[in-house]
Amino acid sequence: MTGASSSCGACKFLRRRCTPDCTFTPYFSYEQAASHFSAVHRVFGASNVSKMLLRLPLHSRGDAAAMICYEALARVHDPVYGCIAHIFALQQQVAVLKEEIETIEMQMASARSLDPLAPTQISAHVSVNQTSCPNEMEQNAVQKLLQDIHQDYYLYQPE
């Protein structure tokens, strides 16, 4: 099913005739043409995406198309960081959660060593949903990650 038209979203966007063996038809609906496929075409290029999908076995193409679409939309939304912004945010969230666990462990160890009969001194309240960082910490984390990526891939920093 490709919506109201017999063209898929990709062919509608590319203004070409949609053939029965069109690579995109199963993964891009007619309705997605304006938003999704335009992002995919702008970021990856229709020809590159077609080649990437055709290199994969049929059963993997749906997932690959979804991931490519996600990456493309993320890059249109954030032209510098794209979906890596999501990776940065999650890495920060992991760091904050690990810190929370370490804090509880230290509080528990400290409470036991100072006063083994007073478990109520342990602050048990840990806000699981509190994952935002102060701006400075956030910026430092982003800078550190950027340095790692630059270093990993031996990219030159523009002067």
Identify residue 118 by its one-letter amino acid code.
Answer: A
18: left (phi over 0), alpha (psi -120 to 50) or beta: beta
Name the residue nearer to its own copies (CB basis): 97 or 137.
97
Name the residue nearer to its own copies (CB basis): 12 or 36.
36
Q: Report CA torsion sign: 69, 75, 78, 82.
A: positive
Contact 3, 29 (CB under 8 A): yes
Main-chain dihedrals φ then ψ at residue 153, nearest 5 degrees: -105, 10
Give me the least distance between CB of 70 and its own copies, in Å please.
Answer: 6
- 124 CB contacts (<8 Å, ≥6 apart)? 104
Name the residue nearer to its own copies (CB basis): 127 or 135.
127
Give me the least distance between CB of 136 and its own copies, in Å please.
Answer: 19
Give me the least distance between CB of 134 and its own copies, in Å please.
Answer: 19
Name the residue nearer to its own copies (CB basis): 16 or 86.
86
